[in-house]
């Protein structure tokens, strides 16, 4: 084996080890199970993920449009107006993302607390029902 092939193999092995450490699938398609560390986040919540994606898009477009209109109103050359609009669109995109994530994080947390409270109430209702009533014969 040449020196170059040895270095390439070592680099590939290091890359695979990093992927496995991050929980990515290896060659055999086996990823580490994250069931024990299952956490709900904005990225894994389907409605929150969609809302953040939508907010980013509309925020970027709105920032671009407002800056383009303001630059056009200031009689700037087209190239400068578009440069300003692009910069404003990028800034608005990032701001929309940050706001949407902050809002959706609170909504996801509230939804999880609501579900936990419903399960808690159902469990308490099941515990308070008398077990003797289930054993008693029913009269019809």
| Tens digit of pLDDT at every position of the chain (140 positions) | 555 565 555 555 555 555 554 555 545 544 444 444 467 788 888 899 999 999 999 999 999 999 999 999 999 999 999 999 999 999 999 999 999 999 999 999 999 999 999 999 999 998 888 565 555 555 65
Place of tokens 């910069």: 87
pLDDT of residue 37: 47
| C-alpha torsion 56→57→58→64, nearest 10 | 100
Tokens of 36: 């024990």
Tell me the helices (H) and strands (E) count for the chain, helix number first.
4, 0
**Nearest residue to 64 via CA among 90, 94, 100:** 90
């Amino acid at each position: 084996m040449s020196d170059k092939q040895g270095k390439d193999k070592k680099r590939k092995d290091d890359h695979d080890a990093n992927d496995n450490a991050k929980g990515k699938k290896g060659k055999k398609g086996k990823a580490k199970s994250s069931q024990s560390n299952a956490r709900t986040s904005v990225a894994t919540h389907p409605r929150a993920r969609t809302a953040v994606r939508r907010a980013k898009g509309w925020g970027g477009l709105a920032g671009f449009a407002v800056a383009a209109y303001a630059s056009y109103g200031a009689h700037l050359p087209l190239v400068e107006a578009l440069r300003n609009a692009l910069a404003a669109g990028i800034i608005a995109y990032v701001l929309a993302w940050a706001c949407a994530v902050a809002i959706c994080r609170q909504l996801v947390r509230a939804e999880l607390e609501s579900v936990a409270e419903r399960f808690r109430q159902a469990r308490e209702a099941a515990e308070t029902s008398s077990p003797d009533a289930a054993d008693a014969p029913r009269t019809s």
